């Protein structure tokens, strides 16, 4: 535990990749997977201790996906699958 430890569990890049692979088995196609990669890339590419997706970021992003359906190709069911799968990793 370092001086900058926040105590929040975060989804790592590897865990996110595993989640995407699991979602492929739940019938998300390449376009859907690319949407998720693009949407969460900011959180996964942050510097140092901020890198990863914490519970607050996940919740806010899922809410935005549900409200802004015209900005991505994900259906309501696909968003719910992604949310469920990612929450398991927190």
pLDDT tens column, 8-61: 799 999 999 999 999 999 999 999 999 999 999 999 998 877 789 999 999 999
Rounded distance between C-alpha atoms, residue 3 and residue 79, angstroms: 36
Distances from the Cα of 72 to the Cαs of 23, 46, 57, in angstroms?
16, 22, 18
Residue 1 has pLDDT above 50, yes or no: no
């Amino acid at each position: 535990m370092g001086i900058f430890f926040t105590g929040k569990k975060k989804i790592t890049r590897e865990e996110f990749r595993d989640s995407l692979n699991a979602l492929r088995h739940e019938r998300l196609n390449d376009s859907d997977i690319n949407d998720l990669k693009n949407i969460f890339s900011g959180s996964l590419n942050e510097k140092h201790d901020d890198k990863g997706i914490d519970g607050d970021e996940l919740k806010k992003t899922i809410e935005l996906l549900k409200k802004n359906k015209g900005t991505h190709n994900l259906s309501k069911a696909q968003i719910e699958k992604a949310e469920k799968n990612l929450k398991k990793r927190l």
